[in-house]
Every structure is written in C-alpha cells, then in structure tokens.
Chain A
Amino acid sequence: NAGVTQTPKFRILKIGQSMTLQCTQDMNHNYMYWYRQDPGMGLKLIYYSVGAGITDKGEVPNGYNVSRSTTEDFPLRLELAAPSQTSVYFCASSYSVAGGRSLSKLNTEAFFGQGTRLTVV
C-alpha cells in the first residue's frame, strides 16, 4: 500500500539549476497538490490539479511548473532554482469518489507524501 510517493527525499541544487520533483499516487485520486513548507509559515499551495490534463495555480506558483498527463503522476518542475526555493515540498492527493482508502471515510481527506527537502545554494 504505497499511497503517495515522492522522490527524491533530499536534494541540493546550485542556483540556476533545474530539477523535477516526482510524485505518484496509487489511490485513483482525482485531485493532486504541491505544497511548500517553510518554518513558521505553514503550508503554501503551489499548484494543484483536479484531474488528468488540468492544472491550476495555487498561492505561490512563481518559479514552478507542473503537468498532469496521467491520474497517478503530478511532477513539479523548478526551471531556474533560486535560494528562495529552499524549502520542504509535499505532494498530496485527495477525493476519490469511491471513498478510496480514507479511514475517516471523508472524501476530502488529503494524503501526503513524506516530503522532499530541497536546498538551493
């Protein structure tokens, strides 16, 4: 039972480099999200997707891009890494009409990956 899987767990980037954070879920969830977590700031929504082929901006989309070619995968792309993008990144998914694996039986329950700690130097 994998749930939401993110790779890599840790990464150090140099300023100006690019990388893709991978996220995949096996719960047939319609909705997927990318958040960043900064100390004392809570989680900020970067991008989200309500289904394959559909993506939309969240609160802090600048410097990032996403795609959703399949239900399972929602990669996050950083094109020109900047120190301000040093953060912990979480992918999440939610809302299976069938109720999915939610123990709470709450369709809006968000399932999170373990996070990617990214440092830009």
Chain B
Amino acid sequence: GEDVEQSLFLSVREGDSSVINCTYTDSSSTYLYWYKQEPGAGLQLLTYIFSNMDMKQDQRLTVLLNKKDKHLSLRIADTQTGDSAIYFCAESIGSNDYKLSFGAGTTVTVRA
C-alpha cells in the first residue's frame, strides 16, 4: 500500500534554512512531489523530482531523494515570511503517474 509520512510542524527563523522531511513506501513511484498550500487555498505544485535523480535545485529550493531509504527532503534557503504554509509530500502510485498519495502535510511557521 501507499503511505507517505512527514512531520506535522516546523518553526524556523526568517533568513534561516528550512528542511522538511518525508518518507514514502512505493519504490515504483515515477515522480515525487512537493505541494504548497497557503491559508484558504488549494494545493499548488512547488517542485518535483524524477525518481532516477538524487537532487534537484530550483532557486531557493533543493530536493534530495534517497531511493534506498525511500526518503525525500525539501530545503528552502533564506526562508521568508511568505514561505509560511503547509507543505505536502506526494508520490505517484506505481505505474499510475496520475494518481498521487499525499502525506499529512508539514505546517511551516516563519518567525521574525
């Protein structure tokens, strides 16, 4: 079965780096995703990584993938108040790239 786990809360000081961790179970996932949900809004794709990659960098975002341990992380450099949101880790389910299994979400709070 599919089970994505992530810690529920993270508090970080403005300007510091945030690291959000996630573990997943489906080793056949083609893609792994990070979605961001701002208050009162739906989820938006933040970044993603193809399963044959170890790392992906996109401006302030760095995604690390450890396939052996089924561990995914998202690092946000120079965290800003606008980064306060809920971050969801998600994996595609088996060969069905269009079906996703989501974690419970990590609420990131950025304090001044």
Partners in one complex: yes
* A interface with B by C-beta (< 8 Å): 4, 31, 35, 40-43, 45, 48, 50, 90, 92, 94-95, 104, 106, 108-110, 112-115
* B interface with A by C-beta (< 8 Å): 4, 8, 31, 35, 40-45, 47-48, 88, 92, 97-105
Bound form: Cα–Cα A90–B100 in Å:
14
Give the residue of A31, A42, A108, A114 whose beta carbon is less than 8 angstroms from that of B41: A114
Task: Assess the B45–A42 pair: CB atoms within 8 A.
Answer: no
Give the residue of A40, A45, A94, A112 whose beta carbon is less than 8 angstroms from that of B42: A112
Say whether chain B's binding surface is mostly helix, strand, loop, or mixed: strand
Shortest CB distance A5–B (Å): 11
Task: Assess the B42–A42 pair: CB atoms within 8 A.
Answer: no
Task: Assess the B45–A40 pair: CB atoms within 8 A.
Answer: no
Known: A42-B4, A42-B104. A50 touches B98 (CB 8 A): yes
Task: Assess the A40–B104 pair: CB atoms within 8 A.
Answer: yes
Give the residue of A40, A41, A95, A114 whose beta carbon is less than 8 angstroms from that of B98: A95
Which residues of chain B are near A35, meaning CB under 8 Å?
A: 102
Which residues of chain B are near A104, meaning CB under 8 Å?
A: 45, 47-48
